[in-house]
Amino acid sequence: MLKEKTIDQLIRELWMSITKLYNEEAAKYGGTMSIGYVLLKIDPQIGTPSTALAPMLGMETTSLSRTLKNMEDKGLIFREKNPMDGRSVLIKLTDYGCQMREKSKETVLNFNAAINEKIDAQDLEVFKNVSTTMLDLVNERKIFK
């Protein structure tokens, strides 16, 4: 009777739910989920070139740019010009940014620890493999004939 959810619907709902949870968690210290993810990719010691960030996050550079602006406005990062290449920018964390990065790290660690604790390790391995395969299929546009 119960019409089963399709794979895409399942992933959509799962991701929306995780987003909501992460945003609730981040709201406790004035953050957001997206900002949390960006923070994690920035090297707290030497900073990270803007160019490198977008692919690490699987996003478009244009999307990232907007979030970096928000982060700058919030005092989490600052931009440093690259003297070797006038186009590129190095993203560095402020002290406040470093602190919030730790909070974000904690959230991600706690989430993944809980999942690892509550879901069978072998099943989780399969889940990861299928996800990775699916991601590649989609990114390579091997889905619609």
Q: Which residues pair with 60 in a beta bridge?
A: none
Residue with tokens 């004939």: 145
Helix 33-41 to helix 95-118 angle (10° resolution) is 100
Residue 74 neighbours by CB distance under 10 Å: 16
Nearer to DNA, 84 or 121 (CB): 84
Q: How far apart are CA 71 and CA 136, in angstroms?
A: 30
87 binds DNA per the rule CB under 7 A = yes
Applying CB under 7 A, the span of 2-10, 85-93, 123-131, 137-145 interacting with DNA comes to: 85-93
Q: Judged by CB under 8 A, how many residues of this single chain contact a copy of itself?
A: 49
Q: Judged by CB under 7 A, how many residues of this single chain contact DNA?
A: 30
Binding region for DNA (CB under 7 A): 16, 19-20, 23-24, 32-35, 49-51, 59-63, 65-70, 79, 82, 85-89
